[in-house]
Structure 1
Amino acid sequence: MNLKLLGSSLIIAGTALGAGMLAIPMVLAQFGLLSGTILMLVIWSGTTYAALLLLEASIKVRGGLGMNTIAKQSLGKGGQLITNGLLYALLICLLMAYIIGAGDLVHKMVLNLGLDISLVQSQILFAVIAGGIVAAGTGVIDKLNRVLFLLMLAVLVITLFALVPNMSLAHFFTATNDSSIDLIKTSAVLFTSFGFFPVIPSLVSYNENATHAQLRNMVLLGSLIPLVCYLLWLYAVVGSLSYEQLTQFNNVSELINVLATRFEGIHVILSIFTGLALLTSFFGVALSLFDQNIDLFKQNRAVTYVLTFILPLLGAIFAAEKFLAVLSYAGLIMVFIAVFIPMMMAINLRKSEGKTQTAISNDEYYEVGGGQIAMMVCFSFGLFLIGAQVI
């Protein structure tokens, strides 16, 4: 895999690997590491297969930076309208969350430097600068993201090594909750932790000369990296703290405070990790929305820059509290846009190819393996996620 494809894998991984990773041990610890690991592998397998279906549709359509063109050619005008509506609802909500979170971090950093600017000004500053980087193109994001992601991994490795001396193997085999319903409820949290699918069409266009096998490996590697990071962090925290300690925490800040008693510098290190994770996730989601707008509106990059960031920024400034209620539905939206819609795209494109009976050479054809059985499993996976959301 060349550097461009490796960088694309890191964009996928960075989009998925958000600050929410820190909360995963608090969610899964009560069920024991075996159940938590199995559930995470199930969620990873389902989301990765659905992402490969979107990759298949992107390759077969052969054009379009966003899901707009793919949906138009595979689902028709009605499907295009539904896809765009769900995608915009999800991406705008996510960007609002990132702008709110990043604005708060920027505000604290600037205050520590002795500069007096408001929280709103910090949000605007972040959106303008980070948005400008996104508008510069996928190549710029690729190169910057490589540096940011490697720094994030270095911070994570330092944290893991710091926690290892205090780990207890006895904690690994402790499970205090054997409720299958409670375990299923956590699926919603884990599913959103692998939300990298929107960036795939952009990366297919960015790697236009790559083979289908290379693109497939790009997606697989990009999804595997966050899985490994999530599991290592889960094992490190669960091994370091007892279940009784973990259940006392109301938020991630309290978890970090307890870990800080064992490793003095963990506050600073995890703050850096949170900021980097938020930034890499922002770049992935913002790139997806930017390219979607180019694909849909066919405007120059300056106009697309405004179209992409004006609504998330205004929402972050004026509707932050109301937005939090809307964000609770983001997981349900994501099930449809990340699982069911890619599945329908792939099914329709395969049917279309069968009707035309066009001879396609092996080097020009790509189809995710598994056939109808895998499709049925993918559909069941989507229903499982909806059940986890509404329980």
Structure 2
Amino acid sequence: MRSTSLASSAAPSAVERSPSVLGGAMIIGGTIVGAGMFSLPVVMSGLWFYGSVAVLVFAWFCTLHSGLMILEANLNYHEGASFSTITRDLLGRTWNRVNGLSIVFVLYTLTYAYISASGSVIHHTAHAMGLELSPRIGGLGFTLLVAFIVWLSTSAVSRMTTLVFGAKILAFFLTFGGLLSHVQPASLLNQSSGDSAYWPYLLVTLPFCLTSFGFHGNVPSLMKHYGKDPRRIRTCLLGGTLIALGLYLVWMLCSMGNIPREAFKDIAQRGGNIDVLISALGSRLDSANVDLLLTFFSNFAVACSFLGVTLGLFDYLADVLGFDDHPMGRLRTAAVTFLPPMLGGFLWPEGFIHAIGFAGLAATLWAVVTPALLARASRKRYGSPRYRVWGGMPMIVLVLFFGGLCAVSHLLFMLDALPVWR
């Protein structure tokens, strides 16, 4: 793949070194807004609508700034340098090993989650068309297609993500235009339920919110794509995360405005996978058109997030394993990237919700804690001459606090020490 380095001196290739900011924002937005969004109404049903809005905005703010902290530190290193390179240099080999394990665990877990989700969605889509296709076979076929696109190049992922994300936004507004017209204020205010306790369910939502704003593995990929241009990369991160936040808020309004709080208990008990939530919305509205649009939207959502997450994992593994960027090197990287989660998806096709939750625990380390520590160490060593995240030390402390709170919440959840709306 041709280098996009801004340090290259050939003037005629300036256009090639200046790819569209829209494409980068679409990679970020497409990575974030994927299958994980379908877990949000289920896990946040205890907190309900207004509490969910507050927590989502807080999670967006913290994860955006942790992503910008990765950018700040990464700008001091060569284009293509990943977490492994900058973490080893700034925080030491021991922290790098622990951080590397968490990165691989999260990205592999999310890849597995999206294989599981894609199988579920394709099975539901095929069933709506009168066809029978098992989730295992659907997930396997879809994964092979994504692997081929990622193998081609970052530019191929950017173009495909832009196309699919555009289609997803169109499907989103077509779908939720219908859902918005059916929103019941009484449902949003939870007037039909006698249980008005919401905040006890706050902590259990945090790891899922963190995972639902997971784009951090793509920051080094963007620097590889745009070169050392912090202004444009910052615009990509801000634009992509704001798009995601807006879509999430509309999604929460539509789902919680159409499905009563009590009904989410049954959805959670049935596993909370995408097809269960789609069926619940379709049955509430009794509309074949809405059910069809939701099915199309879920396909686009899975595709976007699948592409973005696996691109981040692909570039990380290529850097760690030292595979080159030629076709055979990329083929080896693709094999290491996709074969393990494909095997997991084939053996355990129904693990979507559980995988998203476990990813949130490990993501706390590399997507929140490590970026804050990298920014602090980078400022001490280099002074951050190219770019510095605003807020100084208080911002670093806030990001670390958010990460610690997410980690403690998930550990308490695993110990059954947190109330869950079921």
Partner residue, 2:256? 238
Deviation at 1:235, TM superposition (A): 1.6
CA-to-aligned-CA distance 1:121-166 (integer Å, 9 cap, x gap): 5444333221011011110111111110011111111122112332
Structure 1 residues 307 and 172, CA, compared in 2 at 3 Å: closer, same or farther?
A: closer
Q: 1:144 aligns with which of 160, 166, 170?
A: 160
Retained in 2: the 8 A contact 1:66–1:288? no
CA-to-aligned-CA distance 1:246-281 (integer Å, 9 cap, x gap): 5554441442233441x3311111111111111111
Deviation at 1:287, TM superposition (A): 0.5
How far apart, CA to CA, are the structure 1 residues paired with 2:177 and 2:294? 13
Partner residue, 1:164? 180
How far apart, CA to CA, are the structure 2 residues paired with 1:196 and 1:24? 17
Partner residue, 1:357? none
Paired amino acid for 1:216: R
| Structure that is richer in helix per residue | 1
Retained in 1: the 8 A contact 2:118–2:142? yes
Report which stretch shifted further, 271-280 or 75-84. 75-84
Paired amino acid for 1:125: G
Deviation at 1:350, TM superposition (A): 1.2
Partner residue, 1:44? 60
Q: 1:257 aligns with which of 275, 279, 282?
A: 282
Q: 1:97 aligns with which of 113, 127, 130?
A: 113
How far apart, CA to CA, are the structure 2 residues paired with 1:112 and 1:384? 42
CA-to-aligned-CA distance 1:51-104 (integer Å, 9 cap, x gap): 111111222223335322222222222222222211111111211222233244
1:107-126 → structure 2 map (5 Å cutoff): 120-126=136-142
How far apart, CA to CA, are the structure 2 residues paired with 1:81 and 1:337? 11
Report which stretch shifted further, 332-341 or 112-121. 112-121
Partner residue, 2:404? 383
Retained in 2: the 8 A contact 1:44–1:227? yes
Provide the aligned length of Structure 1 versus Structure 2: 380
How far apart, CA to CA, are the structure 1 residues paired with 2:42 and 2:119? 26
How far apart, CA to CA, are the structure 1 residues paired with 2:261 and 2:371? 39
Report which stretch shifted further, 231-240 or 148-157. 231-240
Partner residue, 2:236? 218
How far apart, CA to CA, are the structure 2 residues paired with 1:109 and 1:326? 22
How far apart, CA to CA, are the structure 1 residues paired with 2:379 and 2:400? 17
Retained in 2: the 8 A contact 1:259–1:266? no
Deviation at 1:114, TM superposition (A): 9.2
How far apart, CA to CA, are the structure 1 residues paired with 2:165 and 2:92? 38
Structure 1 residues 161 and 121, CA, compared in 2 at 3 Å: closer, same or farther?
A: closer
Structure 1 residues 167 and 116, CA, compared in 2 at 3 Å: closer, same or farther?
A: closer
How far apart, CA to CA, are the structure 2 residues paired with 1:21 and 1:110? 22
Retained in 2: the 8 A contact 1:95–1:285? yes
Q: 2:207 aligns with which of 157, 172, 188?
A: 188
How far apart, CA to CA, are the structure 2 residues paired with 1:228 and 1:128? 31
Deviation at 1:326, TM superposition (A): 6.7
CA-to-aligned-CA distance 1:306-339 (integer Å, 9 cap, x gap): 2222222223234557998676432110111111
Normalised by the length of structure 1, the TM-score is 0.87
Identity %: 26
Structure 1 residues 315 and 227, CA, compared in 2 at 3 Å: closer, same or farther?
A: same
Paired amino acid for 1:225: I
Deviation at 1:233, TM superposition (A): 1.5
Retained in 2: the 8 A contact 1:315–1:323? no
Q: 1:227 aligns with which of 245, 263, 271?
A: 245
Partner residue, 2:420? none
Instruction: Structure 1: state its 5+ residue gaps.
Output: 355-359
Paired amino acid for 1:15: T
Paired amino acid for 1:336: L
Partner residue, 1:329? 358
Deviation at 1:172, TM superposition (A): 3.5
Paired amino acid for 1:224: L
Structure 1 residues 303 and 347, CA, compared in 2 at 3 Å: closer, same or farther?
A: same
Retained in 2: the 8 A contact 1:246–1:255? no
How far apart, CA to CA, are the structure 2 residues paired with 1:36 and 1:198? 25
How far apart, CA to CA, are the structure 1 residues paired with 2:178 and 2:85? 48
Q: 1:349 aligns with which of 368, 372, 378?
A: 378
Deviation at 1:230, TM superposition (A): 0.8
Report which stretch shifted further, 277-286 or 104-113. 104-113
Retained in 2: the 8 A contact 1:339–1:378? yes
Instruction: Structure 2: state its 5+ residue gaps.
Output: 1-17, 324-328, 413-422
Q: 1:198 aligns with which of 189, 206, 217?
A: 217
Q: Could you say what secondary structure the match of 1:125 adopts? A: helix
Provide the alpha-carbon RMSD of the alignment. 2.8
